[in-house]
Chain A
Amino acid sequence: MSCRKRCKREIFKFAQYLFRLVTGTLSTDSVEDELELSTVRHRPEGLEQLEARTRFSRKELQILYRGFKNECPSGVVNEDTFKDIYAQFFPQGDASTYAHFLFNAFDTDHNGSVSFVDFVMGLSILLRGTVQEKLNWAFNLYDINKDGYITKEEMLDIMKAIYDMMGKCTYPVLKEETPRQHVEVFFQKMDKNKDGVVTIDEFIDCCQNDENIMRSMHLFENVL
């Protein structure tokens, strides 16, 4: 809105306020309040559709949804709630930064909230997906600005977030340059052409060649 229009509106509002003050009319509820009343109540798609789209069985979806809806009766998780929930698991450190990145990874349509569909789709990939899909997801997590490349700065942010979750009380004590060193090691391993960024292909290739990583991908098969 242009400056003049805004000024005009403000003056009009002030005049109205003065008028109400002089004549003694009680202030009525402004229109903006009504918009707040309609709380966002999200309802997921039907059970059949979700069953088709994800790799969970009906019963598993039921359990997941019950847990989800219990925590968030409105049906969506916003970032703060997400951070709170995630922080419960890591009481010693500060999990908020990492939770922020996780939230962005789950919030595939970037609308600022994670609905049950987003949640269950993410879980489906993580728990029941192929190795390729899982690696894809991890790459997506590391790539903060979602441009297809992981730069050193992005990786450093992620690494710092992970180390933050450890908290201060570690043995041996966490030093300032530890995340940076870890990022260096990571890049040495992943960045084949040494161009300073890691692409999705380099990432997947490298991970598939690493035995440890492959084995750990299958770690959570039986979570649910």
Chain B
Amino acid sequence: MATGVAAWLPFARAAAIGWMPVANCPMPIAPRDNSKRQDELIILNVSGRRFQTWRTTLDRYPDTLLGSSEKDFFYNEETKEYFFDRDPDAFRSILNFYRTGKLHYPRHECISAYDEELTFFGIIPEIIGDCCYEEYKDRKRENLERLQDDQEENKDMKLPNMNFRETMWRAFENPHTSTMALVFYYVTGFFIAISVITNVVETVPCGSTANQKDMPCGERYTVAFFCMDTACVMIFTVEYLLRLFAAPSRYRFMRSVMSIIDVVAILPYYIGLVMTNNEDVSGAFVTLRVFRVFRIFKFSRHSQGLRILGYTLKSCASELGFLLFSLTMAIIIFATVMFYAEKGSSSSKFTSIPASFWYTIVTMTTLGYGDMVPKTIAGKIFGSICSLSGVLVIALPVPVIVSNFSRIYHQNQRADKRRAQKKARLARIRIAKSGSANAFLQSKRNGLINELLELTGTEEDEQKLIKSTSLLESQHHHLLHCLEKTTVSTPVVSTCFYAHEFVDEQMYEQNCLETVLQSYPSRSPSISSHDSSMGTCCGHRVKKNIPLPNASVPPAHPVPVHQGPLQELSAIHIQCSDPSSHTASRSTLNLKADDSRINCKGGRITTAIISLPTPPALTPDGDGLHGPPQRRPPPPSGHPTPPSIQTTTSSACTSIVKVSAL
């Protein structure tokens, strides 16, 4: 209900008359509202579309652009309206926020465009109403993932200073980085397959010898299988040790699922080596061999689909748990019923309730082996109810799991598609960049020719002056030219005896070949400068420093008029109490509130000074702004710089907003 509570302030003040008779001491004087401003209509012209609203509507949220004096920057004297050069469609929802107090996210808007509009008008997105908040968060997360993927792609480029260990780890994680890694990847895959096949074939009965029955191959060719097993385990051990060595955090690596699988896969062999051929323990040893089948899970490093499946199962853990629980319940119920129903009949297989479990499971999953069938009529009736209900109980959680799998799978598909699109996009960007670089070089040449012509040419030649490009381009070129002139480096031996110059690729390569010892910039200067500007552009987009619009008004400013009434409200607050025991000064009251609130919140707080409702200040006299509680810790009094919200996309996915300067 964080709406224009300012409209109710007169009511709250009037209701304060209820405290008067109880109070024992005189009340402070009420502030006078000298500027009796009549409520007037304001015209907001957003890219030609005119919106009109009352001034008081906008004044409800004084921490936003429209509610504060910041909108005066956009005032147009001639037309007597406020002009904003922004998207009028997005502005609709922003203005509705002032009117209704609820911020809605229009679904057809692009999420980043909407975010930009919110930032421009100084509204924090956290106050989006519950109806639209989920959708907003989902789209924002999607967008974030997209940006993160892009960033991760950039990280894949080889960092210059990686030691051997880091290279090895990267090779393990991403086999496409180098040939060696690829070879290693395939070799391990091959050996996993061999190991699994060996385990399987071991148990197949090979032909019989003269004096013995059919023996499994394992016992017939013991030595061969043993050698095979040894070889595989050698490879796996070496691989595990290498991974352990290369892991950036060994402790974390040892805790990871894959490493546990690795260990479990190779341990039985070593245990078998250690144990003697004792009859007692050989039974246990045989069971250990079962764990060798875990080697097949090592394939999940090689197969993305398997990983997705594993991830799906993990994320559907609660649904699976529910399935299991409901099945167990149903099994117990029906087993009990069937046992007592069949108790009467002779030669019944339902000897006990646990014995009936098997029947119930087989019936509920509609297997129906037929090894146990009810014979009495009651038993048959309950048996049919059991099978009917089994279908329902199993069918219910399955779609949830399937939809989860589908969502994750599509996400992965999307990542691959994006990667492919990105390549095309980068190629296009590169072409455009080289195009503009060429244009600059061309204009330079034209300029030189023009100069030449001016110096030496006759009048006719002047007409041959190659027309310069558009104003924008010429200004851009001038800029690049200035950059050239700026980059004065130590004079080098070769051709470059004045400042660095933009040269095209061929000349640059030539120069490189000629002057090995010179310290040229690693790439062509033109592209590097472009890159840097691109970098800052993108960097600017990725890390937005959103200064709170009104936070630059330090609280120590003289109290604006509308906060006046609150002053005396707070005074009443304090002096209503028994004066003998509560001489609470305003500042100390604040201080206490400060501490308690800051202690309550964790590190991640939004300085929601923007657009949470007025009335903000109980103590507007510079001790800091309080506000409606839940999300507003007051900035400490006299805080010099405004706290800023930084949206960093590279941080942990969960939280996006972090307070930087508190």
Contacts and interface: CB of A to CB of B under 8 A. Distances in A.
Interface of A: 59, 63-64, 66-68, 70-71, 81, 84-86, 88-92, 102, 105, 119, 122-123, 126-127, 134-135, 137-138, 141-142, 158-159, 162-163, 165-172, 174-175, 178, 181-182, 185-186, 190, 203, 207, 212-213, 215-217, 219-220, 222-224
Interface string B587-607: 011001101100000000000
Contacts of B615: 88-89
A66 B4 CA distance: 11
A203 B5 CA distance: 33
Contacts of B23: 212-213, 216
Interface of B: 1-5, 7-27, 29-30, 32-33, 38-39, 54, 56, 99-101, 565, 568-569, 573, 576-578, 581-585, 588-589, 592-593, 595-596, 613, 615, 618, 626-629
B42 to A, nearest CB: 15
| Residue among B3, B7, B33, B588 with max Cβ neighbours from chain A (10 Å) | B7
A214 to B, nearest CB: 9
B445 to A, nearest CB: 67
5 contacts: A66-B54, A86-B12, A88-B615, A89-B9, A169-B596
A200 B581 CA distance: 29
Contacts of A159: 22
A213 B20 contact: yes
Contacts of B577: 163, 166, 170, 178, 182
Contacts of B15: 86, 102, 126
A203 B20 CA distance: 12
A223 B2 contact: no
A16 to B, nearest CB: 24
A216 B3 contact: no
A161 B613 CA distance: 24
Nearest to B585: A171
Contacts of A181: 578, 581
Contacts of B626: 91-92
Contacts of A171: 582, 584-585, 588-589, 592
A86 B628 CA distance: 11
A224 B20 contact: no
Given A102-B15, A181-B578, A91 B592 contact: no
A158 B22 CA distance: 10
A13 to B, nearest CB: 26
Contacts of B19: 162
A166 B293 CA distance: 68
Contacts of A219: 16-17, 20, 27, 29-30, 568
A171 B593 CA distance: 10
Contacts of A127: 10, 14
Given A91-B626, A91-B627, A217 B20 contact: yes
Q: Considering residues B22, B578, B588, B589, which has the most beta carbons from chain A within 10 angstroms of its beta carbon?
A: B22
A84 to B, nearest CB: 4
Given A182-B22, A212-B26, A134 B1 contact: no
A71 B23 CA distance: 31
Contacts of B1: 81, 84-85, 88
Nearest to A135: B21
